Chain A
Amino acid sequence: MSLLQDSLIELIRRTSAEIPDDVHQGIVQSLENEKKGTIAESALKIIERNIELAKQKSQPICQDTGSIIFYVECPVGFDQITFEETAREAVQLATKKGYLRQNSVDSLTGKNDGTNVGPGSPNIHFHQHRSAETSVSLVLKGGGCENVGAQYSLPNEKLKANRDLDGCRRVILDAVLQAQGKGCGPGILGVCIGGDRASGYEFSKQQFLRKIPDRNPNPELDKLEQDIVETANALGIGPMGFGGKTTLLGAKIGVANRLPASFFVSVSYMCWAFRRQGVEIAADGKINRWLY
């Protein structure tokens, strides 16, 4: 077993069992804000206890350990093939240890071979940079929240959404309304304005690498992000759709260029069990430091 493989198994374990601090703080805050004695408050108390238990027992926060998505930032000359092979082995071993559920099904035969490895799983994105550092981020995204993601093509007459920021706001808030209850709120949105059908969703998911309290450097998008969270939290959807004050913990919005003919708004929803971690990897494969 290589040091890199050890490091990746530890990354998977920690991602599956521990909520990153930035998300946890949002949940603690929403518990404080919720009206006492309501079922929304008791839902958040169970969520809070679950976060503690999972960490303490080193077991999955949620049984749906989700799509396994690696984001690798690597220097020029990095051996992507070896990394991919090591990551696939690490996923199989982490599944045997129970850090991941047997979660990958052959779409034609319906067979689940129990390994979590197959076409498209795990999903690995490589990005080269000029720096000598290698970092690996991991997002485990469950199926419940993935199913409530939505892609809108503007204009959308039914939602009165035109090709402008107000139109984007309308469809994003529609996604929040439709996701209620099903996506395990309070949730976090990752949005891409523009791109094509594939790159739009892809880019919307990359927004989940941003920390919850960070601010968008683009003032217009920053304003939209704040507005989406504030408006969503005024709708009374609440944790698990039980009614209550916190519907969203955050909204992160990016933009990509589009074709003149297309205007997509792609919305990915992440549940409160927001499993995202990252490590900087040393040349020998050991973990240098944790990113979140």
Chain B
Amino acid sequence: MIQLSAPFTLEKIAALKVGDAVEISGILYTGRDAVHKYLHDGGELPKEVNLQDGIIYHCGPVVLKDEQGNWKVTAAGPTTSIREEPYQGDIIKQFGLRGVIGKGGMGSRTLAACKESGCVYFHAIGGAAQVLAECIKRVRNVYLLEKFGSPEAIWELEVERFPVVVTMDSHGNSLHEEVFSRSQAELSKRL
């Protein structure tokens, strides 16, 4: 198991390769459908949010307010990433992202942007909302909550040992491409 802690430097990211099991500690920003479209359309990123050398997490968490008025994430697994394929590559390059966490993998444009700009795609376990919520130690802030609603807002989360697998690295390799072409060949033998 590889430990990846902030700051998420280019050097650390470049050392990761497809198939690596990684635990991430540091800050993650959630961002999913609404945020990606908004940023891609030229929407302004809240000034407190710094995505340079950052990691974005495709996630719409369940968040409740406790009696003291503090946010508490009670479920936080990844959402399907491929919906962000039209936007992700440009956002990686524009904001200097070093990591994208989601599920299901992404396409060739994102893979190319990962290579060009030094970024990796981390696959979290879909549906594992409780295991992943336990790794979230604190909600530091939330942005665009009114505009987009809770699942689509940008949540700034402090995580410890958040488990993921590298399925697209910064060297042009994709586990998703490999598994797809292998399974497609296996299926054609069985039709």
Main secondary structure of the interface of B (DSSP, over half): mixed
Say whether B99 faces chain A, with CB atoms less than 8 Å apart: no
Residues of B contacting A64 in the complex (Cβ-Cβ under 8 angstroms): 60, 77, 79
CB atoms of A60 and B74 under 8 A apart: yes
CB atoms of A63 and B62 under 8 A apart: yes
Residues of A contacting B125 in the complex (Cβ-Cβ under 8 angstroms): 43, 46-47, 50, 240
Say whether B172 faces chain A, with CB atoms less than 8 Å apart: no
Residues of B contacting A57 in the complex (Cβ-Cβ under 8 angstroms): 130
Compute how far the CA of A142 lies from the CA of B75 in the bound complex, rounded to whole angstroms: 14
Interface string of A231-262 (1 = CB under 8 A from B): 10011111011110000000000000000000
Min CB–CB distance A6 → chain B (angstroms)? 21
Min CB–CB distance B97 → chain A (angstroms)? 21
Known: A63-B60, A101-B151. A181 touches B131 (CB 8 A): no
CB atoms of B126 and A180 under 8 A apart: no
Known: A147-B80, A241-B179, A271-B126. A114 touches B149 (CB 8 A): yes
Min CB–CB distance A225 → chain B (angstroms)? 16
Residues of A contacting B127 in the complex (Cβ-Cβ under 8 angstroms): 47, 50, 61-62, 142, 184, 271-273
| Closest B residue by C-beta to A111 | B149
Residues of B contacting A173 in the complex (Cβ-Cβ under 8 angstroms): 187, 190-191
Interface size class of B (residues with CB under 8 A): 35 or more
Main secondary structure of the interface of A (DSSP, over half): loop
| Closest A residue by C-beta to B20 | A39
CB atoms of B187 and A177 under 8 A apart: yes
Interface string of B158-191 (1 = CB under 8 A from A): 0000010101000000011011101110110011
CB atoms of B179 and A181 under 8 A apart: yes
CB atoms of A50 and B105 under 8 A apart: no
Which residues, 213 to 238 on A, are CB-close (under 8 Å) to B? Answer: 231, 234-238
CB atoms of B60 and A236 under 8 A apart: no
Compute how far the CA of A54 lies from the CA of B61 in the bound complex, rounded to whole angstroms: 15
Residues of B contacting A243 in the complex (Cβ-Cβ under 8 angstroms): 175, 178-179, 182
Interface size on A, residues (CB 8 A): 52
Say whether A77 faces chain B, with CB atoms less than 8 Å apart: no
Partner among A62, A111, A147 whose Cβ is within 8 Å of the Cβ of B75 = A62
CB atoms of B179 and A63 under 8 A apart: no
Say whether A105 faces chain B, with CB atoms less than 8 Å apart: yes
Pull 14 A–B residue pairs with CB atoms less than 8 Å apart, ordered by A. Answer: A39-B19, A53-B134, A60-B62, A62-B75, A62-B129, A63-B129, A64-B79, A105-B149, A143-B79, A173-B187, A184-B103, A241-B104, A242-B165, A243-B178
Residues of B within 8 A of A (CB): 19, 21, 34, 59-62, 64, 74-77, 79-80, 82-83, 103-105, 123, 125-131, 133-134, 148-152, 163, 165, 167, 175-176, 178-180, 182-184, 186-187, 190-191
Residues of A within 8 A of B (CB): 39, 42-43, 46-47, 49-50, 53-54, 57, 59-65, 98, 101-103, 105, 110-112, 114, 142-144, 147, 160, 170, 173, 177, 180-184, 231, 234-238, 240-243, 271-273
- 9 smallest CB-CB distances across A and B, nearest first, come from A112-B149, A184-B126, A63-B75, A182-B104, A273-B127, A53-B130, A181-B104, A235-B183, A50-B128
